[in-house]
Structure 1
Amino acid sequence: MPSKRLEGITTGRHCPTCGSATHGRPWVRLADGTSPHVSLSHCGEHVVTVIADHPVGIDVESIDAVTSRWDPALVLHPSESADAPAQQAAMWCRKEAILKALGTGLSTPMSEIRVADWQVEDIAAPDGLAAAVVVIPQAGRGGSSTS
């Protein structure tokens, strides 16, 4: 999707891998020329978005959908566990939020990310959903991805 302009605000997407404007990380340019960091996620009819002065990531997922495709070897760092469906969905959301904030998406294996190394917050979500957000205080890494 090409960029859009709304009363001095321009938005779009950019894939750092292939340069496409049809997918990838969302971006926004405000009327004053500044470009805050932005992240968004959707699950069914629910959409969450966050804007920050630092790299940011947000994710929302269906607990049932995560449970149906759950593979702890693909998601969990060796030091982590998540047994109950709600724990699995929360862990998935935390990992996706971190990967979005890093700008790597799923090109970085979730199992290489240890949630304890990041300042991730679970956020309120409708029944049956899980959601999490992370803001990285400094450009680059907010924690170690391998511990």
Structure 2
Amino acid sequence: MELSTDERERLARFRQAADQDRFRTAWVLARQILSAHLGVAPESLEFVRRCRTCGETGHGKPALVDGAPWEFSLSHAGGWVLLAVSNVGPVGVDIEAASATFAEIAAMVRGPGEAADDLHRLWVRKEAVLKATGDGLAVPMSSFTISPLTWPADPPLADRLALADLVVPAGYAAAVAVIPDHPAGRLIF
């Protein structure tokens, strides 16, 4: 399956062949799954990246052009690729391999009063939330908490957001977050 010009340019930025393989796999998977939901050919899907902070295109969370109501999020680490797809609202997913680095950046991860022994799990939960909101790392992880969820920039968001840990192989942690646009009734992770 052919990648778009933008996807090929981003693919070329990866130095390691394994990283290129994960990136290619993630985008082929996204095209396959999203095209099945939309009933169109995978090659016909168009994506745009728009930054929530500055409004510019070319960077930010990827989204389907003319793909409403479908939203998606991609993450890859080690030999694993995750794709989350939602038709109830924005979605974010993250997978990360365990690393000693998490202990080194604890102050950047922990929010006010947040005492988390498992910084690895806290990181993926916060990253999933930041991907779902579309803010990415433009919002410091230390500015909000997960348990209980607090989001100072938009306090009602905490009542709407659904967050779940995902079962992944040992040595990895993963989470998915969804912000339903309407009462969803039931979310299945």
TM-score range, shorter chain: 0.7 to 0.9
Residues 79 and 127 of structure 1, relative CA distance in 2, 3 Å threshold: same
Q: How does 1:107-122 map to 2 (within 5 A)?
A: 107-115=138-146, 116-117=148-149, 118-122=161-165
- Does residue 24 of structure 1 match 2:24? no
The DSSP-based 3-state class of the residue aligned with 2:123 is helix
Give the Cα separation in 1 of the matches to 2:101 and 2:162. 22
For residues 114 and 121 of structure 1, the distance between their equivalents in structure 2, rounded to whole angstroms, comes to 15
Contact kept, 8 Å, 1:57 with 1:135, in 2: the verdict is: yes
Partner-residue secondary structure (3-state), 1:48? strand
Q: How many equivalent residue pairs? A: 131
Alpha-carbon separation, structure 1, partners of 2:85 and 2:116: 29
Q: Secondary structure at the match of 1:2?
A: helix
State how far apart, in whole Å, the 2-side matches of 1:11 and 1:90 are: 33
Structure 1 segments of 4+ aligned residues over 4 angstroms from their partners: 3-6
Query: Could you tell me how far 1:34 is from its partner in structure 2?
Result: 3.2
- Match 2:180 to one of 133, 137, 147: 137
Considering Cα pairs closer than 8 Å and 6+ residues apart, tell me whether 1 or 2 has the greater RCO.
1
1:110 CA displacement: 0.3
**Does residue 128 in structure 1 map to residue 162 in structure 2?**
no
Query: Structure 2 length as normaliser, TM-score?
Result: 0.60
CA 43–13 in structure 1, closer or farther in 2 if over 3 Å, else same? farther
Answer yes or no: is the 8 Å Cα contact 2:48–2:65 preserved in 1. no
Deviation at 1:35, TM superposition (A): 4.5
1:61–1:93 CA contact under 8 A, matched in 2? yes
- 1:59-107 CA deviation, whole Å, 9 max, x = no partner? 000112643x632221111221122xxx111000000000000001000
C-alpha RMSD of the superposition: 2.5
Instruction: Confirm whether residue 46 of structure 1 aligns to residue 80 of structure 2.
Output: yes
Aligned pairs (5 A) from 1:34-73: 34-53=68-87, 54-64=89-99, 66-67=101-102, 70-73=104-107
Residue 120 of structure 2 is aligned with which of 89, 94, 116?
89
**Which structure features the higher share of helix residues?**
2
Under a length normalisation based on structure 1, what TM-score does the superposition of the two structures give?
A: 0.76
The structure richer in strand per residue is 1
Structure 2 Cα separation of the partners of residues 13 and 113 of structure 1: 28
Q: 1:34 to 1:45 in 2, by over 3 A?
A: same
Identity of aligned residues (%): 36
Q: How many Å apart are 1:12 and its aligned residue?
A: 2.7
- Letter of the structure 2 residue corresponding to residue 24 of structure 1: G
- Where does the alignment leave 5 or more consecutive residues of structure 1 unmatched? 140-147
Deviation at 1:119, TM superposition (A): 2.8
